[in-house]
């Protein structure tokens, strides 16, 4: 069945991601903020064969990392079941972002600079046992540290106040009617 984890924080990216890098990172994100105008999913398709080839080595689950509109940081996308944040972060870094990345010099990735350095921290709080842990990037080295152990019995407790509010917002997003977005509307993807 899995468990839900909530995250707060961000990883700074220097130099900032360019438009193509941001677009791909956000396109493969498993975000709850789906593109309702087309298929309802942000997924790679056969038109992007170069990215599909690299995605074959992706970790299980989906990426819950999202780039900000300026390309200066990565953060949790707010999506459900973000249980593979560390493997996906390492995959994104080694495949698309950091020096020596798999995309470097490959056809279809001519605009990817693969020269980024990530620094920062994201703290996760598991819903099933309330374990707290940090994901820290320091000059492209990723570390995970247990901040506070979870308690198995807490999985039967009601949600904490912030968890209830997050759940309420998620449900509100799902309940919103589909709208057609005008062509000249600014896109943040």
CB burial string 29-59: b at 16+ within 10 A, e below: bbbeebeeeeeeebeeeeeeeebeebeeebe
Q: Name the token pair of 36.
A: 């309702």
pLDDT tens digits for range 55-77: 788 888 789 999 999 999 999 98
pTM as predicted = 0.80
Please name which of 16, 37, 23 lies closest in space to residue 115, comparing C-alpha atoms.
16
DSSP secondary structure code for residue 56 in this structure: T
Average pLDDT, stretch 72-98?
Answer: 92
Could you tell me the CA-to-CA distances from 9 to 21, 90, 121, 154 in Å, in that order? Answer: 21, 17, 6, 24
pLDDT at position 36 = 42
The 3-state DSSP class for residue 139 equals coil
d(CA 171, CA 188): 22
pLDDT tens digits for range 93-106: 999 999 999 999 99
């Amino acid at each position: 069945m899995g468990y839900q984890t909530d995250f707060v924080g961000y990883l700074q990216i220097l130099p900032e991601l360019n438009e193509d890098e941001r677009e791909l990172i956000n396109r493969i994100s498993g975000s709850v903020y789906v593109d309702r105008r087309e298929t309802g999913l942000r997924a790679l398709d056969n038109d992007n064969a170069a990215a599909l080839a690299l995605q074959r080595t992706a970790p299980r689950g989906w990426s819950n990392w999202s780039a900000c509109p300026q390309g200066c940081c990565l953060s949790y996308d707010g999506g459900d079941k973000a249980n593979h944040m560390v493997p996906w972060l390492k995959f994104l870094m080694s495949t698309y972002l950091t020096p020596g990345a798999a995309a470097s010099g490959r056809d279809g990735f001519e605009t990817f600079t693969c020269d980024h350095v990530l620094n920062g921290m994201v703290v996760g709080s598991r819903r099933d046992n309330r374990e707290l842990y940090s994901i820290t990037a320091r000059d492209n080295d990723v570390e995970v540290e247990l901040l506070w152990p979870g308690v198995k019995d807490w999985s039967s407790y009601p949600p904490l106040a912030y968890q209830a509010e997050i759940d309420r917002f998620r449900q509100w997003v799902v309940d919103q009617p589909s709208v057609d977005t005008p062509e000249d509307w600014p896109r943040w993807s």
